[in-house]
Amino acid sequence: MQPANLLTVISDQLPNLNCSESKVAAVILADPEAATRSSIANLARAAAVSEPSVNRFCKRFDTAGFPDFKLQLARSLASGIRFVSSSVDPGDDVTAYTSKIFDSTINSLAMVRDRISHERISQVVDKLVQAKRIYFFGLGASGAVARDAEHKFFRFNLPVSYHDDVLMQRMLAATGSAGDIFFIISHTGRTRELVEVAQAARAGGATVIALTAPQSPLAAACTLPFTVDVPENTDEYMPMSSRIVHLVMLDVLATGVTLRRGAEFLPHLERIKKSLQPTRFPAP
């Protein structure tokens, strides 16, 4: 959707530029941020060329003119900064690592948002709506995700549980049958235990949905793979953002199911909400 980063394009084209154009390029690449703020006269002066030269430079890069060029530049800078600064260094101070972690999480979410198959979400919601019973399975960090999922799906008035105990998972999988959904959550999709659980559940005729990495053994082993591609953090200091993405995906699924249930389901939700009131101090 977004065209290639303007700064990259400029530096790629650097050898093909003529004298005054490359002077302009040099000034812009030296401080792109400043370039977005200056006027054409300013920039021309800084590059020691005439204003029309700057204008020609802009048009060369498929922009309508100088103002449009600045706009595009600002855009590439904004998206660029966030991608570049995504890993935490040992020397980072609070401000630095805090925004890096937030930015990288936001990026993962934005990326998945733009790439996720809505078709597939629809299919998964279909299955969940028809389910007689749902099990959420996860281990380690994904155990917490499974627990959160249970907490969201119990509202739908059907038997839902989460399990982070491999033995329980195996036993439940062995007894699964048509109408049961085993919803398996795994960051890597390569955990042997979970793959075996998926196979066992499938053998019994149950539906197995896996929220996991694409092209993983787990995705291959289930009936309906629901894969999200979250760029792997190789950085030692960086937290896994796949957990977060998984949680949001489950929010989406739960919302899909709620909408499918229709408006007559709302009083039920309202009742659940009300039930918590006595446990709380009144709102200010």
Partner DNA sequence: CCCCCAAAAGGTAATAATATTTCATAAAAG
Partner DNA sequence: CTTTTATGAAATATTATTACCTTTTGGGGG
Please, which residues have CB within 8 angstroms of residue 190's CB and are 6 or more apart in sequence? 213, 216, 217, 218
Q: Which of residues 97-116 bind a second copy (CB under 8 A)?
A: 97-99, 101-103, 105-107, 109-113, 116
Tell me which H or E stretch contains 24: helix 19-30
Residue 66 sits in the site that holds DNA (CB under 7 A): yes
Residue 59 sits in the site that holds a second copy (CB under 8 A): no
Residue 170 sits in the site that holds a second copy (CB under 8 A): no
Could you give the string, one character per residue 241-260, with x where binding to a second copy holds by CB under 8 A and - elsewhere?
--xx--xx--xx-xxx-xx-
Bridge partners of 138, per DSSP, are 185
Q: How far is the CB of 25 from a second copy (least distance, A)?
A: 20
Asked if 139 contacts 186 with a C-beta cutoff of 8 angstroms, the reply is: yes
Partner whose binding site includes residue 168, from a second copy, DNA, none (CB under 5 to 8 Å by kind): none
Partner whose binding site includes residue 145, from a second copy, DNA, none (CB under 5 to 8 Å by kind): a second copy
Q: Which of 64, 63, 29 is nearest to 47 (CA)?
A: 29
Tokens of 166: 């491999």
The span from the first CA to the last CA of the chain, in angstroms, equals: 46
Residue 174 sits in the site that holds DNA (CB under 7 A): no
Measure the CA–CA gap between 212 and 189, rounded to whole angstroms.
5
Residue 94 sits in the site that holds a second copy (CB under 8 A): yes
Could you give the string, one character per residue 20-49, with x where binding to DNA holds by CB under 7 A and - elsewhere?
xx-----------------xxx------xx
Q: Please pick, from the candidates 25, 43, 44, 70, the single residue that binds a second copy as defined by CB under 8 A.
A: 70
Q: How many residues bind a second copy (CB under 8 A)?
A: 86
Q: Which stretch binds a second copy (CB under 8 A): 16-24, 51-59, 202-210, 237-245?
A: 237-245
In three-state secondary structure terms, 162 is: strand
Q: Which of residues 181-200 bind a second copy (CB under 8 A)?
A: 188, 190-193, 195
In three-state secondary structure terms, 1 is: coil
Q: How far is the CB of 178 from a second copy (least distance, A)?
A: 25
Bridge partners of 210, per DSSP, are 184, 225
Tokens of 29: 């690449």
Under DSSP, the state recorded for 264 is G
Q: Which positions touch DNA (CB under 7 A)?
A: 18-21, 39-41, 48-53, 55-56, 58, 64-68, 70
